[in-house]
Amino acid sequence: MRVISAAKVEEAVGSLFLKANTVIRPDIKRALKRAYAKETNKLAGELYRIILENAAIAKTKRLPICQDTGLPVVFVEAGEDVRIKGGGLEGVIQKAVIRSYKKYLFRASIVSDPLKRESRSGFGPAIIHLELKKGKRLKITVMPKGFGSENKTRMKMFNPTVRITEIENFIVECVKNAGSDACPPYIVGVGVGGTAEKANLLAKMALLRPVDKNSRKKHILKMEKKIYSMINHLRIGPMGLGGKTTCLGVNILTYPTHIAGLPVAVNIGCHATRSAAVTI
Least distance from C-beta 242 to another protein, angstroms? Answer: 8
Give the per-residue contact string, 208-247, with another protein (x = CB under 8 A; - = no): ----------------------------x-xxxx------
Burial 218-251 (b: 16+ CB within 10 A, else e): eebeebbebbbebbbeeebbbbbbbbbbbbbbbb
Which residue's Cβ lies closest to ligand SF4?
146
Q: Is the dihedral of CA 199, 205, 210, 215 positive or negative?
A: negative
127 contact, one of another protein, ligand SF4, none, CB 5-8 Å limit per kind = none
Q: Which is nearer to another protein, 119 or 161 (CB)?
A: 119
Least distance from C-beta 189 to another protein, angstroms? Answer: 17
211 contact, one of ligand SF4, another protein, none, CB 5-8 Å limit per kind = none
Measure Cα distances from 189 to 8, 72, 96, 211, 224 in Å. 31, 18, 27, 10, 10
273: nearest Cα among 56, 52, 28, 36: 28
| Chain-centroid distance, C-alpha 36 | 22
Q: Which of 8, 29, 107, 129: binder of another protein (CB under 8 A)? A: 107
* Residues within the interface to ligand SF4 (CB under 6 A): 66, 68, 146, 148-149, 182-183, 270, 272
Measure Cα distances from 177 to 169, 173, 268 in Å. 12, 6, 11
Q: Which is nearer to ligand SF4, 138 or 241 (CB)?
A: 241
Q: Which is nearer to another protein, 4 or 65 (CB)?
A: 65
272 binds another protein (CB under 8 A): yes
93 binds another protein (CB under 8 A): no
Q: How far apart are CA 195 and CA 51, in angstroms?
A: 37
Candidates 12-20, 101-109, 208-216, 258-266; binding stretch for another protein (CB under 8 A):
101-109
Give the per-residue contact string, 29-48, with another protein (x = CB under 8 A; - = no): --------------x--xx-
Least distance from C-beta 148 to ligand SF4, angstroms? Answer: 3
Give all strands (DSSP E) within the chain, no chain letters. 2-5, 71-79, 82-85, 127-133, 138-145, 154-158, 186-193, 247-255, 262-269, 276-279
Burial 140-177 (b: 16+ CB within 10 A, else e): bbbbbbbebbbebbbbbeeeeeeeeeebbebbbebbee
69 contact, one of ligand SF4, another protein, none, CB 5-8 Å limit per kind = another protein
Chain residues in the site for another protein (CB under 8 A): 43, 46-47, 50-51, 53-55, 57-58, 61-69, 105-109, 117, 119-121, 148, 151, 179-183, 236, 238-241, 270-272
